[in-house]
A = this chain, B = another copy of it.
Amino acid sequence: MKINSNYLNLEESYLFSTIARKIEEYQKENKDAKIIRLGIGDVTLPLAEEVIKSLHKAVDDMADKSTFKGYGPEQGYGFLRDAVRDYYGSYGAKLESTEIFISDGAKSDLANILDIFHIDNRVLVPNPVYPVYLDTNIMLGRNVTFIDANMENGFLPLPDESIPADIIYLCSPNNPTGAVYTREALQKWVNYALKCNAVILFDSAYESYIVDKDLPRSIYEIEGAKSCAIEFNSLSKTAGFTGTRLGYTIVPHSLVFEGVSLNKLWLRRQTTKFNGVPYVIQKAAEAVFTEEGQREIRANIEYYRENARIIAETLDSLGVWYTGGKNSPYIWLKAFDGMTSWEFFDYLLREANIVGTPGAGFGANGEGFFRLTAFGNRENTIEAMERLKRLRNRA
């Protein structure tokens, strides 16, 4: 029996383990230091009240023979697919319920979608970016071509028509940079994909942080996108579902390659390899899309957005270059004084007891940059920014 040797080509990521070790070592030597973690990529506020109510009710359904649910449809219950359709419709992306597939998260689907594509496809991946896009392709033995994101293009690269591509990853609002594509920029990507018959894999997991009405929350707000794009979304950051697990993937019926409907291929993949999301979790998600549910999760998102605003305002006042922070929970800043990402990590930990994430962990183009997030609590975020101001003014 031979293993899939492509796995041996994966680089081990020591990003988060190295961060943890450095914090531990520092804390040991500086027992009184109050370290503030702004590197956290996970939500901290509890589930909304409407979601909790719906969960309790769904649990009771499972306790009674007459309302008990066994196997459900692999692609999700109609009540939830309809709710997602209406949510997209509310900001101008018109979808059919049968184009929406409920899953246990955007990460799983972003990995699993590669099942339905031919191994010979040429893949474009932005750099820096969420490491799953690259790793899942390496596991299949694919070389990928990087698209350079950098200060010059505001970490929002545009298509280069001289580079051929079949599969294109885009993430907006971006992880890790927080940068958000405009309609015009996304239209260029859609036009390019249509021209070279490529498919765009559009990760919109942070769309709920967009408040600027001019910015697109879904790629389906862009003309032509339903013929070239699959969109991946999630309730993880929208409704605090990182430990509750629910995402959805949109595969429009008009996506047809080599005469075959991608919607049908994905349905076949999911019915063969997946058994659907727990009924109680789908009921929890349904509550997110009710009027009261939306009001409650909005309050949580605004709490995080205010943290982001406080960070961005501080960087503005200090004249530090950054992207994100306005329509995104992430702030991506240039390390002070030409430091590398890790030098800046050590500097902030030592001089201000602040922890963030070194940008180099997201790809070579992340070197010299640093990610802060808005998922901490208010008091800590304010205190961290006061420390940052003192540190900068001292320097």
A2 interfacial by beta-carbon distance below 8 Å: yes
Distance A276 CA – B132 CA, assembled complex (angstroms): 15
- Per the bound structure, the CA–CA distance linking A2 and B165 in Å amounts to 11
Bound-state Cα–Cα, A272 to B44, Å: 23
A380 → chain B closest CB, angstroms: 14
Residue A315 is within 8 A (CB to CB) of chain B in the complex: no
Which residues 40-74 of A sit at the B interface, judged by CB distance below 8 A?
Answer: 42-47, 49, 52, 55-56, 59-60, 62-65, 68-72
Q: Which of B3, B167, B257 sits near A116, CB closer than 8 Å? A: B3
Which of A4, A42, A119 has the most chain B CB atoms closer than 10 A to its own CB?
Answer: A4
Contacts of A276 in B (CB 8 A): 243, 245
Which of chain B's residues have a CB closer than 8 A to the CB of A244?
62, 278-280
Number of copies: 2
Give chain A's interface residue range (CB within 8 Å of chain B).
35 or more
| A116 contacts across to B, CB distance below 8 A | 3-4, 7
Structural contact, A273 and B243, CB atoms closer than 8 A: no
Stretch from A81-89, A104-112, A150-158, A353-361 forming part of the interface with B: A104-112
Question: Chain B residues with Cβ under 8 A from A135's Cβ?
Answer: 272
How far, in whole Å, are A341 and B245 apart by their CA atoms in the complex?
Answer: 41
Cα–Cα, bound, A71→B16 (Å): 14
Which residue of the partner chain, among B43, B107, B120, B198, contacts A273 with CB atoms under 8 Å? Answer: B107
A275 on the interface (CB 8 Å rule)? yes
Q: Determine whether the beta carbon of A2 is less than 8 Å from that of B258.
A: yes
Known: A47-B63, A55-B280. A273 touches B4 (CB 8 A): no
Of the listed stretches A214-222, A260-268, A322-330, A344-352, name the one at the interface; the rest are far from the partner chain. Answer: A260-268
Is A90 on the interface with B (CB-CB < 8 A)? no
Q: Which of A5, A60, A71 has the most CB of B within 10 A?
A: A71
Given contacts A7-B265, A245-B278, A278-B278, 11 further A-B contacts (CB under 8 A): A1-B167, A2-B118, A3-B118, A7-B116, A43-B70, A45-B65, A47-B62, A56-B59, A108-B273, A243-B279, A244-B278
